[in-house]
Amino acid sequence: MNIIYMLLAISVFVALIFFALFIYSVKRGQYDDTYTPSVRMLFEDELVKEGTSSKSETSKEKITNPKK
Amino acid sequence: MVNCFHCGDPCSDIEIKHEEKSFCCHGCKTVYDILHDNDLSYYYDLQKTPGISPREIAGKYDFLDNEVIVEKLLEFNDGNTQIVSFLIPSIHCSSCIWILENLNKLNPAVKTSQVNFPEKTVRITFTSEENSLKNLVILLSRIGYEPYISLDDSDKKEKNINRSLIYKLGVAGFAFGNVMFLSFPEYFEHSEFWLDQFKPFFRWLMFAFSLPVVFYSGSGYFTSAYKGLRSKILNIDIPIALGIAVLFIRSTLDIVMNWGSGFFDSLTGLVFFLLIGKFFQQKTYSYLSFERDYKSYFPIAVTKLFKNSEGKIVEEQAEVYTIKKGDRLLIRNNEILPVDAILIKGNALIDYSFVTGEAEPVSKQSGDKLFAGGKQQAGILEVEVLKAVAQSYLTQLWSNDVFSKDKTGIFESITDSISKRFTVAILSVAFISTIFWLVFDPSKAFNVFTSVLIVACPCAIALAAPFTLGNVLRIFGREKLYLKETSVIEQMAKVDTVVFDKTGTLTTNQKNLITYEGVALSNEEKQLLTSTLRASSHPLSRSLYTILDKNNIQTLDDFEEEVGKGISATFNDNSIKVGSYEFVGFYDEITSELKNRTTVHISTNQVYKGCYIFNSEYRKGVSEIFEQLGNDKEVVVLSGDNEGERERLETLLPKGTKLYFNQKPDDKLNFIKTLQQNGKQVLMIGDGLNDAGALKQSNVGFVISENTNVFSPACDGILDASQFKKIGDYLNFSKSSVKIIKWAFLLSLIYNLIGLSFAVTGHLRPVVAAILMPLSSISIVVFTTIATQYIGKKLRMDINKQS
């Protein structure tokens, strides 16, 4: 039954990892703006769609150069 | 009527057809072209008519050539890579986000740009070798996203966002969850082999988890309690701090002495719930600023004129702070004068409405004194500085004591007022029961004493106000009254005197009510008048032009505009003069009453005809709102304007309304002060910088704003102008919300009594505390939420019924 010491140690350790990640993300400002990313997320897909519907030349450019 | 493809405004005057699309002006069309040429027309797919028509900016950003100013605006600069953040008030939809984050397609020098939509800011990283900050600003302005740069930006404040509450909440939540797990086994089993084996380990682990909760998460309550005690106020944090301390000490003793498992679960839960309450209360409207002073209204730079070594006069863009007495400045059309000055050259037509409350632009001759904050409305001026920015007539107002005081600490909150009695009651119960047990069973005395303090910890009371007011704050936000913080609601409930400013508050900023007085104009004269006005860019000419028939517009033979005075024109032997009475002449025919008002006089062929009178239009429902408020409150109008409108106001407002005119900013402040000294709780409603002192001094200061994006002075709340007539309902609403808090207090007192009955008899076991405490907190939260939603719905229905 002494295994419980190890189990507890592991569970607390895992909890601490998540806790540290939470603090880190707050510190990086991830919760400062909770709205814009939700809108921004939808743009990327649409961009490709727009690219294919417009001139083929530009669409190629966009596919070969997908960064931003 | 066709709507503009770019900005969605109706194309009333002109309609420009371009690529089968209609545009209301050339500005909109240009933006469309820019975006279209750069393959960015997805902008229009994302949202319909997302655009903003760009404004004329020629010369406006010349000050960005000045390196010192640029350096002040930049957030980061390593010579090549520069980062800058702009506030762009016109950000309003997802298209805006998209276009601003794709700026690199318009200008390759832009590396990245990131929009913060709630704050309406964009943060741009760019390479300065390829592009200057000035070009960047011009690019933004050209596509309709003109950044708002003011004197405020020059004092670079480190963006210090206080996230400590989130950390504290995180720590408390983390510890609470783990402690709950560890204390769970002992809730049910008392003596079981394995449990007995691990008990001490579990308990010390809980102790370890509770340490950061007490000493970090709960630290705010200890400091606040200490501060309260020092200033001899029994605030709500005192019993809370007492509760936390007793919980911790008792629990530690419990496990050291092996008396029991301690109350670590209740302790961490208590702090966690309390912090959630605090967090909930903190609803902020990040794009609104409630702290603005004249600095956000004034420009960051002005054009300075000086003689160079060769004796030639050159222009230079200088920082406003460097302007000294005796400097010569150049003020362009629509620029704000940042200092007190003497007019040297040019036609001054200064709009002081925002600064002094005078409704009409004033024309000034050279040699006249001009005050800081006025906006030039016609042509270019040359002025000599009399006083530097900080000493000007307007900015002096901010040296008044009210601006250095923090308003929140002054007024006692409802929670603090109840906690006074509560703390005394709890302490006496604790001592009496301890004495009782000392006499009858001394072994139980310590147990009872600590139990009373633990169970009486006013968690539920402390949560009642934050949750009620937090909800109410959100409801107000939905109804377009944006409050700075929750304590404002409590103050609103107490208001018994309402003071209104006139210009911009009771009146709208547009002057649409135009009446004609004098000899009727013949058709020919009317045509001549319309043709003349058409060419003028003066604001009064523009608004007069819009109401006249636009038939048979002729090309004039001769046309001359004297900026700020009037226009003279001739056509087919007929001459016309349109403008101020000084310009038109005929002093005898104009009554002095007319001179006080905004008028455009007309004479044709040297004969005086009459004048158009521009009446400032009062907001809809002014009379109703005064009647409603007049029922149980005193209502006052304080105006910085002259008495020209007295008669109209008297007919409009219920009898007995007090009207005061010619009130300077200081007068307004002192007026409010006097009211308060007479025991009044004052709500001030204003709009301009001239009200800033009064807004700050009053118990509650609201600013009326037609457009929440534009500048508004420091205040406790910003009210959208469309909601003006609902002020009375809002005040009543705040009253009902305070009633809810009182009911919640009653409810939590019942819980406290139940808990106390356990505690006084010495039966408080950890599991009872662990159930009672969250139960009371949660039921308070549920009660206040349901109750506020209910009265919120009622408010909605009342408002719908009216409109």
Mean pLDDT of B560-565: 71
Average pLDDT score, chain B = 81
Residue A65 has pLDDT above 60, yes or no: no
3-state helix, strand, coil in chain B (%, to 5): 50, 20, 30
Mutate to test the interface with B, among A17, A26, A39 (most CBs of B within 10 A): A39
Residue B299 CB partners (closer than 8 Å, separation 6+): B63, B149, B150, B151, B320, B335, B336, B338
Residue B388 CB partners (closer than 8 Å, separation 6+): B321, B323, B324, B325, B339
Give the model confidence (pLDDT) of B314-354 as tens digits: 777 888 888 888 888 888 777 888 888 888 887 777 877 77
| pLDDT of amino acid B318 | 80
Q: Is A12 an 8 Å CB contact of chain B? A: yes
| pLDDT of amino acid A52 | 41
Residue B157 has pLDDT above 60, yes or no: no
A5: left (phi over 0), alpha (psi -120 to 50) or beta: alpha
Residues of B in contact with A42 (CB under 8 A): 94
Residues of A in contact with B45 (CB under 8 A): 46, 50
Segments in A2-68 forming alpha helices (H): 3-27, 36-40, 43-53, 56-64
| pLDDT of amino acid B710 | 65
| pLDDT of amino acid B595 | 64
Least confident of B236-240, B289-293, B497-501: B289-293
pTM equals 0.78
Residue B648 has pLDDT above 70, yes or no: yes
Tokens representing B185? 């086994």
Distance CA B210, CA B203 (A): 11
Percentage of chain B surpassing pLDDT 90?
Answer: 7
Q: Is A37 an 8 Å CB contact of chain B? A: no
Give the model confidence (pLDDT) of B459-481 as tens digits: 888 888 888 988 898 888 888 88
Confidence of residue A68 (pLDDT cuts 50, 70, 90): very low
Distance CA B398, CA B726 (A): 31
Give the DSSP per-residue string, A14-26.
HHHHHHHHHHHHH
Residue B175 has pLDDT above 90, yes or no: yes
Residue B216 CB partners (closer than 8 Å, separation 6+): B168, B171
Distance CA B284, CA B477 (A): 10
**Top mean-pLDDT range of A34-48, B46-60, B139-153, B549-563:** B139-153
A23 to chain B, minimum CA–CA distance in Å?
7
In terms of residue numbers, what domain contains A33? 2-64
SS (H, E, C) B439-507: HHCHHHHHHHHHHHHHHCCCHHHHHHHHHHHHHHHHHHHHCCEEECCCHHHHHHHHCCEEEEEHHHHHE
Q: Which of B104, B114, B117 sits opposite A35 (nearest CB)?
A: B117
| pLDDT of amino acid A67 | 39
Give the model confidence (pLDDT) of B787-799 as tens digits: 999 988 888 888 7
Q: Judge contact between B483 and B469, C-beta under 8 A.
A: no
How many structural domains comprise chain A?
A: 1
Mean pLDDT of B110-128: 86
Q: Which of A22, A29, A47 sits opposite B170 (nearest CB)?
A: A22
Residues of B in contact with A33 (CB under 8 A): 116-119
Give the model confidence (pLDDT) of B386-398 as tens digits: 888 777 777 777 7
Give the model confidence (pLDDT) of B249-274 as tens digits: 989 998 898 888 888 988 999 899 99
Q: Which of A1, A5, A50 sits opposite B194 (nearest CB)?
A: A1
CA B393 to chain CA centroid, Å, is: 24
Distance CA B773, CA B786 (A): 20
Q: What backbone phi and psi angles, to 5 degrees, belong to B11?
A: -85, 85
Whether the complex's predicted ipTM surpasses the cut of 0.90: no
Please answer yes or no on whether B97 and A40 come within 8 Å at the CB atom: yes
Average pLDDT score, chain A = 70
Give the model confidence (pLDDT) of B678-708 as tens digits: 988 899 998 877 788 888 888 898 988 877 6
Q: Judge contact between B346 and B368, C-beta under 8 A.
A: no
Residue A17 has pLDDT above 90, yes or no: yes
Query: A10 versus B105: which is more confidently predicted?
Result: A10
Confidence of residue A48 (pLDDT cuts 50, 70, 90): very low
